A and B are shown apart, each in its own frame.
Chain A
Amino acid sequence: MLTSQFLLLGAILFCIGVYGVIARKNAVLVLMSIELILNSVNINLLAFALRNGSADGHTFALYIIAVAAAEVGVGLALVLLVYRNRRSISLDELSEMRG
């Protein structure tokens, strides 16, 4: 197996996630795209861990999984709060903080 095939897979998933963050209006779908981005980073970290023969990448990947779980919890709580106040989770309608 080549190193670059895993890195390219990670790059493809990352770019699809970036496209999702830009293109989607629904807040839940934006959070899903962020999960895609975090997973692509994990694939890269584990590929480099195998390449260098160390366990550091595994540790980082586990930390990223934990942070992603925390992020989804807080993010969905925020989405729920916005929905309760506005009856909508379209991100382009949230413009109170625009200067």
Chain B
Amino acid sequence: MSVDTQPLLRAEGLRRHFPVRNAFGVTTHTIKALDDVSFDLRSGETLGIVGESGCGKTTLGKMLAGIHKADAGRIHLEGTDITSLSVEERRRIAQRLQYIHQDPGNALDPRWTIGRSLDEPLAIHTALSRPERLARVGKILASVGLPESHLDLYPHEISGGQQRRVGLARILTLQPRLVILDEPTSGLDVSVQATILKLLRALQAEFQLTYLFISHDLSVVQIMCDRIAVMYLGRIVEIAPSAELFAVPRHPYTRSLLSAIPRIGGRRVTDTFTLEGEPADASNLPSGCRFRSRCPQVAAVCAKQDPALGPGGSAHQAACHFAGETPGGGHV
């Protein structure tokens, strides 16, 4: 992994609040989907974003991809601010930054041949001639493990797994630098998941991709990512190198999350798991720390003060008043 001095992507204080309106169109309350999220993404690394549903991980991915606008905050891609670009300028960014949906195979047009689907992004975004485009499409198709004869087939003529490969190939034709993967394996069987994960890794090595890997599955994130950010109700509560996060988690929420993963062959979660309750309502957050209503270590200070990510500058940061002093509940 090559690490440049300048981050490929830098997010600063991203915020997105969704207003909830009643029948008369009056805003009754707001859902804080993202609240001051900042992180750096270095070239060539894979950053995992994990959290439960409603924690804001998909909103974050869509905001970076330009699908949602940020209410506040800045996104820098390779040093340039891409937060408030016009539609035209934004379109040019798409060459360097691509977003992959949960099932990329499903995004193929059923009435287009695979070849046409793969050619379209090149025709729109590049000035390549038709033979050049065909050559690049053939090369990409080979790298996702499909024969060139597939170019003339329609999506329904190939299997679901192959469709997914074509979907991935379609994103790679533009040779982006950063790929945002939104739950790439959720809902898949483990054997299919294994195939996709191996393919994602091979593509990353071949095309020097940087991944932002959004997932709720910690065991997948653990093997795929260099660093992991754990989100809870619109905030990053802990960010650390992958191995360190699993060995010495500092935030109590991370510890609960890690202890909830079933580990085959290990102790049973149903014998040891203790976290009670469910995440608070995102439109009506508790004062102070958002996790305090479920936290096993809650103290008086937690209700008064919202802890910030710290210590600053360190690779392993956690947003908890007691992150420094609590013993790391070793896991793995």
Is the A/B pair a real complex? no
Q: A interface vs B, CB < 8 Å?
A: none
Q: B interface vs A, CB < 8 Å?
A: none
